[in-house]
Amino acid sequence: MKTLQVALGERSYPIYIGEGLLAQAALLAQHIQGPSVCIVTNTTVSPLYLEQVMAALSFDFECASVVLPDGEQYKNLDVLNQVFDQLLTSRFSREVTLIALGGGVVGDMAGFAAACYQRGVPFIQMPTTLLSQVDSSVGGKTAVNHALGKNMIGAFYQPQCVIADTDTLKTLDDRQLSSGLAEVIKYGLINDLNFFEWLEQNIVGLVAREPALLAEAIARSCQDKADIVAEDEREHGARALLNLGHTFGHAIETGMGYGEILHGEAIAIGMVMAADLSRREGWLTEVDVTRIKALLIAAGLPVETPAGMTAAGFMELMSVDKKVQAGVIRLVLLKAVGQAIMSDDYEPAKLAETLAHFEH
């Protein structure tokens, strides 16, 4: 087991990465203060792991669970209310600990429910997908979607700990694994050229799920993210770089309807679009863009926009993004492979060219 630390003063917490962690009752129990826990999971994960986690906890704690429908299209206020229904029906007090057992959607919803229930109760992240292990479980961003925009309703709320059991990746389907690799590749692109090159060398083994390679990729991604979050918890600066590909990607997710395309798939396309605009600005070469696309394709990811995404549609959807300031869409672009910047002084005509180039 590897242990990393997210350094946030009194809100600091550990990330545990390793095999067989879901059943380690003592590891889990040391991060639960009160008498009760409520496990939030979904219909896909619950048959695989819920019983195991309940068994680890039920001797020491009063346990309840909520099984949500699986998919980004259910990440909304209505479904969130099912968590509150369960907590109140179980008469759980402010001393309850919520446990998010599942992927990014479960983590975002359980985290936001914990932020709001009785104005805040503790929670633990137990991510079971590659995407949530390398990205969404770390850093305290929680949210639900609104019909008009992704992650528009939420809170910054840090967990007590993150427990990433790499055994759970064995049951992940190929599309989900690739979706997680998109966020892994993102860390390389942002500020870690060595890691990007390591990924180029090991992408075949990662797609083949070699455990040692996956563990290494998860630990390195979490370390990169923990460093950035420790520096800028509330995204006033460097943290915004983690949104590489996300402004384009969120537009695709919202435009296609939540659940049609996986988050990592949309981010992969978004990163290619950001690379394309960066090339038009003269920062990346054609070779750089080809190299980025090649790695994404090798990871099993799409690099073209889905049918139906028009340039006008992109502009419409991107203009409600959280990173809009004074009416200008701020984008994360690439000065080089391994060097992202936040920019609002790109040429609008070049953004229009990129959107036209990717129009479908």
Residues annotated as catalytic are: 119, 141, 183, 225, 235, 239, 243, 246, 250, 263
Q: Which of residues 35-64 bind a copy of itself (CB under 8 A)?
A: 35
Binding a copy of itself (rule: CB under 8 A), the pick from 46, 72, 124, 141 is 141
Q: Pick the closer one to a copy of itself by CB: 149 or 338.
A: 149
Which are the contacts of 348, defined by CB distance < 8 A and separation ≥ 6? none
- For residue 271, the minimal CB distance to a copy of itself (Å) is 23
Helix-helix angle 311-318:348-357, to 10 degrees: 130
Is the CB of residue 40 less than 8 Å from the CB of residue 98? yes
Cα 123 to Cα 110: distance, rounded to the nearest angstrom: 8
Residue 135 burial (CB count, 10 A): 27
Q: Pick the closer one to a copy of itself by CB: 286 or 345.
A: 345
Binding a copy of itself (rule: CB under 8 A), the pick from 14, 69, 71, 149 is 149
Binding a copy of itself (rule: CB under 8 A), the pick from 26, 201, 307, 325 is 325
Q: Does 285 bind a copy of itself (CB under 8 A)?
A: no
Residue 340 burial (CB count, 10 A): 25
Cα 318 to Cα 235: distance, rounded to the nearest angstrom: 18
Q: Does 287 bind a copy of itself (CB under 8 A)?
A: no
Pairing of strands 97-102, 36-42: parallel
- For residue 240, the minimal CB distance to a copy of itself (Å) is 11
Q: Which of residues 72-91 bind a copy of itself (CB under 8 A)?
A: 77-78, 80-81, 84-85, 88-89, 91
Phi-psi region of 282 (alpha: psi -120 to 50; beta: other; left: phi over 0): left
Binding mask 227-256 for a copy of itself (x = CB under 8 A): -------x----------------------
- For residue 250, the minimal CB distance to a copy of itself (Å) is 12
Q: Does 94 bind a copy of itself (CB under 8 A)?
A: yes
Is the CB of residue 15 less than 8 Å from the CB of residue 3? yes
